[in-house]
Chain A
């Protein structure tokens, strides 16, 4: 079975650029999450979709972060404009009805 697929694995951006991260959840899962992981803050929830509907937009991350889910098998996270403090690992995860979370391999973002 295919797990959660994230692309790209690494992304380097200049300050002020727009970047788009991609995620394909596990087939049949109806929940999709975007998290940001840093050593200092740990795992922070950015967005949560249930059956393609945005349920949580991450509060403090609303300003420059926008997640979309155009269909049940694909989601994007856009950061616009990027800032150096956005450097982190961005993890996508999916589950079926809020049970076990399965994580993708993540995208390591570096903003110069």
Chain B
């Protein structure tokens, strides 16, 4: 079945620096890709949903890149600020398949 590897497990950056989190997956049929943010003591909040047909997706303060050839999904926080400090999880699913596979998470700390 699908396997998702997320790197790095921990990341510390200074305010204003960029932060990059990457997930690699194994199933070439994966169709939906998600990034979630989880602040301490809170639940998972959807950051962005990506379809397999879209390679570059821009959100507020971040960019999500999907490289289907390398089966790699990345989240790039362009100018991190302390409010970005949280755990980030990627998730991958097949079309209409309930089996969402989550990465192990990245704990990001942004130092002011």
Q: Which residues of A are at the interface with B, using a C-beta cutoff of 8 A?
A: 31, 33, 42-43, 45, 48, 50, 55-56, 91, 93, 97-106
Contact = CB atoms under 8 A, between A and B. Distances in A.
A105 B42 contact: yes
A91 B105 contact: no
B104 A101 contact: no
Interface stretch (B16-24, B52-60, B95-103): B95-103
Interface in B81-105: 89, 91, 93, 96-100, 102-105
Interface residues of B, number: 21
B98 A48 contact: yes
Contact of A98 (B44, B96, B102, B103): B96
A93 B36 CA distance: 13
Nearest to B107: A39
A98 B91 contact: no
Interface of B: 32, 34, 36, 42-46, 49, 89, 91, 93, 96-100, 102-105
Given A91-B43, A103-B44, A105-B43, A42 B98 contact: no
Contact of A104 (B43, B91, B98): B43
Nearest to B89: A43
Contacts of A98: 93, 96-98
Contacts of B44: 91, 93, 101, 103
